[in-house]
């Protein structure tokens, strides 16, 4: 009876390891540069990617017919990429802000389905003040 129990435990453990391994592999999202994404695009159609950079000054355009739709230009190391986004925009999103976008590139536009702003440096002073308070 102990052998049967041990075999069941080992089988369940192996199944869990394979299931978790496959699950995490599917969720990996490669972080690429604009240059990497735009060169050799033909090898990447329909794949999801993550990019980071700054919002180009004056490039944010809101769609008057659809309040959630907007576009902007992402700048990174001298390269630029037009980005379209159609969801609620983070409060810290503005010209010049540092952002990370996730989505699909179609060869012309990066269609982001996730837009995150990085923390502004203005909070660093507040944190230092809090450390001296504590």
Contact 102, 53 (CB under 8 A): no
pTM of the model: 0.67
Give pLDDT tens digits for 32-47: 999 998 887 666 677 8
The rounded distance, in Å, linking the Cα atoms of 90 and 96 is 14
Residue 93 pLDDT: 92
Structural domain spans, the chain: 1-29, 31-124
Contact 89, 70 (CB under 8 A): yes
Domain 31-124 has CATH 2.40.50.140: yes
Give pLDDT tens digits for 70-96: 999 999 999 999 999 999 898 899 999
């Amino acid at each position: 009876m102990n052998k049967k129990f041990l075999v069941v435990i080992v089988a369940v453990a192996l199944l869990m390891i394979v299931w978790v391994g496959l699950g995490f592999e599917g969720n990996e999202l490669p972080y690429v540069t604009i240059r990497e994404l735009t060169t050799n695009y033909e090898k990447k159609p329909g794949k999801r990617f993550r990019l980071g950079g700054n919002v180009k000054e004056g490039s944010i355009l809101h769609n008057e017919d659809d309040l959630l739709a907007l576009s902007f230009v992402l700048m990174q190391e001298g390269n630029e990429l037009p980005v379209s986004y159609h969801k609620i925009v983070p409060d810290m999103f503005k010209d010049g802000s540092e952002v990370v976008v996730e989505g699909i590139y179609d060869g012309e536009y990066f269609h982001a389905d996730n837009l995150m702003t990085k923390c502004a440096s203005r909070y660093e002073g507040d944190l230092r003040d809090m450390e001296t308070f504590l």
